[in-house]
């Protein structure tokens, strides 16, 4: 695949590095602590990177959720927020932004993405329903199952391949989709869900072509389309880069085309508009009315939905900025740089590069760690120990157990290193590449993990684990041997 240039910038000497298209104006001090202190921190956190305190972290690459940098205009907008329980002007500005950017008239605010999933699932899913989608997201599946639905992932054969040249691994397999609808009957399918920049398989986009084909099937059977737009900006950017027909289309137009095919669009503003909160939008008054009362019940009045008015203002500005290519290209171009460099070093990463982060294939990285000992979790803990970089496990720890109490092994074991928008610089990115390379050279030293405390729901957030041997001490000793007194 030809590498994309960094937001369109070419170097005369042929160098292919991403360029920051913004300047730093407010800074936050980071903490790069000695390896011994990081060892204490990860021990205390039960080898779960969610349990770390940012005071012990150098580069926080856990997630892009609520961690994107805000723009000057977003911060400025918060000053003019209109404090009102009902009818706040801030809400109407946000509503207008959703109309302009997503092309949807009726807007319900919610406190974050999963709140939208709660409301959509409660409203439309009944016991025994099946919900086809390109791939699940953790909170999506939890809410759908809570309401008695069953999630079916209808991805293409290529989607779970670590290294591939297929540019749209987030596509739905339309043949399998139709077979599923025929098998259960369309009356059992309340909607088809498409997730932009499919999070759990490496931030992989779907194409407009694919969405059109899925939409045609949905129309044929009279089934609704629901679009999870939490990462829609990046998906639109990839469409522009990778789908011939749209290479000259403005991102704003691509966004409207995507949303235009969905009956309901919902989003986490923590991702798409770099603030907090979320929303549900539709052009159908009937659908809006079906969901509205649950917003009042679970979130707050329909003009704030559990958000502060300051957040709502920043969300409006952030939504408009999602149509700005210099904003949405930043994270994908840094991810692509990292992915290509790691690939050159022989480190297994998900290719082509996707949205939200660089995804390292933990089973390829640590082939000696059996999947039941959670290689992705072990790799996350090991990388933190040797670098202060916090990534997130996206593998079997993020999965669940079956009725007999056995782990349902994840399709892929990934260590995700998220690149929140406009947060890290190129030298920090090079530090990441260096430490991952060092860990790869010393990968034999990394062992597995086992649970010591395991919550019944979404266990990856608050679960505690321990190493299956004294491998962390050995890894720490090797770090000292190679790096001396360096941090």
Ligand X SMILES: *Cc1c(COP(=O)(O)O)cnc(C)c1O
List interacting residues with ligand X (CB under 6 A).
65, 112-114, 137, 139-140, 195, 199, 228, 230-231, 268, 270-271, 278
421 is catalytic: no
Name the residue nearer to ligand X (CB basis): 56 or 313.
Answer: 313
228 is catalytic: yes
**Considering the complex, what minimum distance in angstroms separates the CB of residue 270 from ligand X?**
4
Helices (H), 274-398: 285-298, 309-321, 325-328, 330-344, 362-365, 375-387
Count CB neighbours of 478 within 10 A.
16
Name the residue nearer to ligand X (CB basis): 89 or 139.
Answer: 139
Cα gap 131→247, rounded to integer Å: 32
Name the residue nearer to ligand X (CB basis): 46 or 278.
Answer: 278
**Considering the complex, what minimum distance in angstroms separates the CB of residue 109 from ligand X?**
13
137 is catalytic: yes
Q: Which of 85, 157, 182, 401 is catalytic?
A: 85
**Considering the complex, what minimum distance in angstroms separates the CB of residue 398 from ligand X?**
13
426, exposed or middle or buried, with CB in 10 Å at 0-12, 13-18, 19+? middle
Residue recorded with tokens 């969405």: 211
403, exposed or middle or buried, with CB in 10 Å at 0-12, 13-18, 19+? exposed
460 is catalytic: yes
Closest CA to 446 of 465, 418, 473: 473
CB distance 236 to 255 below 8 Å: yes
Name the residue nearer to ligand X (CB basis): 103 or 278.
Answer: 278
271 is catalytic: yes
Cα gap 297→274, rounded to integer Å: 26
CB distance 448 to 369 below 8 Å: yes
Q: Which of 114, 394, 422, 435 is catalytic?
A: 394
**Considering the complex, what minimum distance in angstroms separates the CB of residue 170 from ligand X?**
11
Cα gap 274→358, rounded to integer Å: 19
CB distance 238 to 227 below 8 Å: no
Cα gap 424→480, rounded to integer Å: 26
Name the residue nearer to ligand X (CB basis): 411 or 450.
Answer: 411
Q: Which of 67, 123, 138, 257 is catalytic?
A: 138
Residue recorded with tokens 């490496």: 202
Name the residue nearer to ligand X (CB basis): 394 or 435.
Answer: 394
**Considering the complex, what minimum distance in angstroms separates the CB of residue 249 from ligand X?**
23
Closest CA to 368 of 473, 445, 452: 445
Q: Which of 288, 304, 365, 460 is catalytic?
A: 460
Cα gap 373→77, rounded to integer Å: 48
Chain centroid to Cα 338, Å, comes to 17
Cα gap 296→289, rounded to integer Å: 12
For ligand X, which residue has the nearest CB? 113
Helices (H), 185-267: 208-221, 232-242, 251-260
157 is catalytic: no
**Considering the complex, what minimum distance in angstroms separates the CB of residue 188 from ligand X?**
23
Name the residue nearer to ligand X (CB basis): 139 or 468.
Answer: 139
**Considering the complex, what minimum distance in angstroms separates the CB of residue 190 from ligand X?**
18
Number of H helices, E strands in the chain: 19, 14
Q: Which of 60, 64, 129, 228 is catalytic?
A: 228
Q: Which of 39, 124, 135, 137 is catalytic?
A: 137
**Considering the complex, what minimum distance in angstroms separates the CB of residue 314 from ligand X?**
15
**Considering the complex, what minimum distance in angstroms separates the CB of residue 195 from ligand X?**
5
5, exposed or middle or buried, with CB in 10 Å at 0-12, 13-18, 19+? middle
337 is catalytic: no
Name the residue nearer to ligand X (CB basis): 278 or 467.
Answer: 278
Q: Which of 104, 169, 240, 271 is catalytic?
A: 271
CB distance 19 to 5 below 8 Å: no
Name the residue nearer to ligand X (CB basis): 6 or 140.
Answer: 140
How far separated are the first and last CA of the chain, in Å rounded? Answer: 36
Residue recorded with tokens 């593998």: 395
Contacts of 298 (CB under 8 A, 6+ apart): 115, 118, 119, 306
Residues labelled as active-site residues: 85, 137-138, 228, 271, 394, 460
């Amino acid at each position: 695949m030809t590498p994309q240039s960094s937001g369109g910038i070419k170097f005369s000497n042929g160098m292919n590095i991403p360029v920051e298209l913004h300047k730093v104006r407010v800074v936050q001090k980071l903490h790069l602590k000695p390896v011994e202190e990081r060892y204490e921190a990860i021990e205390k956190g039960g080898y779960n990177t969610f349990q770390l305190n940012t005071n012990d972290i150098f580069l926080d690459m856990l997630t892009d959720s609520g961690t994107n940098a805000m723009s000057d205009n977003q911060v400025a907008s918060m000053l003019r927020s209109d404090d009102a329980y009902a009818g706040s002007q801030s809400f109407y500005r946000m509503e207008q932004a959703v109309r302009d950017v997503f092309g949807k008239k009726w807007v319900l605010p919610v406190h974050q993405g999963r709140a939208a999933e709660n409301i959509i699932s409660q409203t439309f899913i009944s016991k025994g329903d099946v919900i086809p989608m390109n791939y699940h997201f953790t909170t999506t599946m939890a809410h759908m199952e809570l309401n008695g639905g069953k999630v079916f992932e209808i991805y293409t054969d290529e989607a779970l391949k670590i290294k591939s040249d297929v540019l749209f691994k987030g596509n739905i397999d339309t043949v399998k989709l139709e077979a599923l609808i025929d098998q259960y009957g369309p009356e059992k399918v309340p909607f088809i869900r498409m997730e932009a920049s499919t999070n759990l398989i490496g931030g992989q986009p779907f194409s407009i072509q694919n969405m059109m084909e899925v939409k045609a099937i949905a129309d044929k059977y009279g089934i609704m389309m629901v679009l999870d737009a939490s990462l829609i900006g990046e998906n639109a950017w990839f469409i522009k880069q990778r789908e011939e027909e749209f290479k000259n289309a403005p991102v704003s137009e691509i966004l409207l085309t995507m949303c235009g095919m969905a009956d309901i669009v919902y989003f986490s503003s923590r991702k798409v508009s770099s603030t907090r909160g979320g929303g549900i939008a539709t052009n159908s008054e009937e659908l809006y009315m079906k969901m509205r009362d649950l917003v009042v019940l679970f979130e707050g009045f329909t003009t704030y939905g559990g958000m502060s008015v300051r957040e709502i203002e920043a969300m409006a500005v952030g939504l408009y900025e999602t149509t700005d290519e210099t904003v949405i290209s930043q994270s994908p171009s840094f991810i692509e740089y990292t992915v290509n460099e790691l690939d050159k070093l022989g480190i297994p990463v998900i290719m082509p590069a996707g949205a939200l982060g660089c995804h390292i294939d933990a089973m390829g990285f640590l082939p000696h760690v059996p999947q039941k000992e959670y290689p992705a979790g072990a790799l996350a803990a090991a990388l933190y120990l040797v670098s202060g970089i916090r990534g997130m496990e996206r593998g079997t720890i993020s999965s669940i157990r079956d009725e007999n109490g056995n782990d349902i092994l994840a399709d892929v074991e990934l260590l995700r290193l998220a690149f929140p928008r406009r947060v890290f610089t190129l030298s920090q990115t090079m530090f990441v590449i260096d430490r991952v390379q060092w860990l790869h050279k010393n990968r034999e030293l990394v062992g597995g993990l086992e649970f010591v405390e395991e919550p019944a729901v979404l266990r990856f957030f608050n679960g505690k684990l321990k190493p299956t041997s004294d491998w962390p001490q050995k890894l720490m000793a090797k770090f000292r041997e190679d790096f001396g007194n360096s941090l």
